[in-house]
Amino acid sequence: MKRRDLLKGMAAISASPILTSYALEGNLVLGKHDALIVVDVQNDFLPGGSLAVSDGDAVIPVINHCMQLSAAKRLPIYATRDWHPADHCSFVENGGTWPKHCIADSPGAQFAENITFPDDVIIVSKGADSDKEAYSGFQGTDLSDQIHAKGIRRVIVGGLATDYCVLNTVYDALANDLDVVLLTHAIRAVDLHPGDGDRAIKSMMERGAEVHDGLILAD
């Protein structure tokens, strides 16, 4: 797909000055040691959900496009999901920060209806322990083992939300000796405090993540 065709359908994305200012020009060339990590594109984080991320659904076409190219190269695609018990410690009623969200098997925990995962997508559930917050897809899961067993050296990351689960997943990927490319047009922030998303991007870059807009991926 041509960049301009993709942009036509994504006016909301190109209207984001903060994100575009980080975007690198040029192609991102996917190689055989790459994998895609799609973070928490679940109904509760989308408009209408219980913890809706503003403009969260804008990540979906960008991620779908990346998944098509990744799948064509037979690269592994991991989809993390927040998968909480009803009494999870992160909920306000249990002394946490968040409204109830992503309760395992509930409609809010389902992946977005229009995200097109391939049949062999690898689903990674996290946050299933009542007593532990788990923003990162690596926390309390075997994601690191799975990735290293496949000889993956670099992960391409997009999803929700920039300032929580994307941030912590990227931190852990870097801590697990993986290179990271953060797709700036495939992430959106909660921004509980204004600027959180922007600070999160800066922080990931400072720790070594590269950024790419995700709009052009070379074949």
Cβ within 8 Å of residue 121, ≥6 positions away: 77, 78, 79
| Positions in 114-173 near ligand VGL (CB under 6 A) | 135, 160-161, 164-165
Cβ within 8 Å of residue 20, ≥6 positions away: 14, 184, 185, 213
Neighbours of 10 (CB within 10 A): 17
| Positions in 24-43 near ligand VGL (CB under 6 A) | 40
Closest to Zn ion by CB, 6 vs 39, is: 39
- Give the dihedral of Cα atoms 97, 99, 104, 107; nearest 10 deg: -150
Query: Which residues belong to the active site?
Result: 40, 126, 165
Residue with tokens 């009803």: 86
Task: Decide if residue 82 touches Zn ion (CB under 5 A).
Answer: yes
160 binds, among ligand VGL, Zn ion, none (CB under 5 to 8 A by kind): ligand VGL
Q: Residues 43-72: x/- map of binding to ligand VGL (CB under 6 A)?
A: --x---------------------------
78 binds, among Zn ion, ligand VGL, none (CB under 5 to 8 A by kind): none
Neighbours of 102 (CB within 10 A): 26
**Which parts of this chain interact with Zn ion (CB under 5 A)?**
82
Q: Which residues are near ligand VGL by CB under 6 A?
A: 40, 45, 82, 90, 98, 135, 160-161, 164-165
